[in-house]
Amino acid sequence: MNLILLGAPGAGKGTQAEIISEKLGIPQISTGNILRAAVKAGTEMGLKAKSFMDAGGLVPDEVVIGILKDRIAEPDCAKGYILDGFPRTVPQAEALDAMGINIDKVVEIDVPDEVIKGRLGGRRVCEGCGASYHIEFNPPKTEGKCDKCGGNVVLRKDDAPETVAHRLEEYHAKTAPLADYYRGKGKLKTVAGQAEVAETSALVLEAINA
């Protein structure tokens, strides 16, 4: 099963992808996590991506398409995967089609901008494995430490309020049109993402018939 999770930054794509990944035994592929790891490691790709990410903009299509292509060629993707944060533009979606990849379902997690703005200040991510937390709604068991890998759980630089506003603009201008793209192919289901994590998970799992 190849799934795409769509939604604004902070809609809960990462959290839901982690839950589906455990339930279905298929990997979560987050281009954001891959990019953050590259920035941290100081690779050439990380250096190229960093300025776009810090400004809350999108990394150029050819860079992320290359990352995605390499990642889905890995053996753990043979039985399917959950794309979290890719595609983010229509050309990225077209690139998936051009690769001959069949997407089974696309679930859009819908959260109003005002809720997103309130949420992102409380979001934390693990520097080690990329797991997502929220200080109020989904805190790690030990403050500041990842439940999964023990890594440091930190605030993302691009979750600062001034950067969030730009990320939301980018989302509405470039990513939101993907809902129509996949609706036109009969693959889109939209669920409300305002409720508790578990309630949203139930809706997402229902949407993918899992």
CA 199 to chain centre: 19
User: Minimum distance between the CB of residue 98 and ligand AMP, rounded to whole angstroms?
Assistant: 16
SS3 (DSSP) at 152: strand
Contact 88, 172 (CB under 8 A): no
Short-list 120, 115, 123, CA closest to 139: 123
SS3 (DSSP) at 109: strand
Active site residue 156: yes
Regarding 53 and contact with ligand AMP (CB under 6 A), the answer is yes
Q: Assess whether the previous peptide bond of 87 is cis (omega < 30° from 0).
A: yes
User: Minimum distance between the CB of residue 55 and ligand AMP, rounded to whole angstroms?
Assistant: 8
CA 144 to chain centre: 21
Of the residues 24, 52, 110, 127, which one makes contact with ligand AMP according to CB under 6 A? 52
User: Minimum distance between the CB of residue 79 and ligand AMP, rounded to whole angstroms?
Assistant: 22
Regarding 85 and contact with ligand AMP (CB under 6 A), the answer is yes
The sign of the CA dihedral 33, 73, 89, 209 is negative
User: Minimum distance between the CB of residue 209 and ligand AMP, rounded to whole angstroms?
Assistant: 25
Residues 6-45: x/- map of binding to ligand AMP (CB under 6 A)? ---x--------------------xxx--x----------
Which of 36, 71, 88, 174 does the annotation list as catalytic?
88
The DSSP annotation for 1-19 comes to -EEEEEE-TTSSHHHHHHH
Residue positions annotated with a catalytic role = 13, 88, 123, 156, 167
The residues binding ligand AMP (CB under 6 A) are 9, 30-32, 35, 52-53, 57-59, 64, 85-86, 88, 92, 158, 167
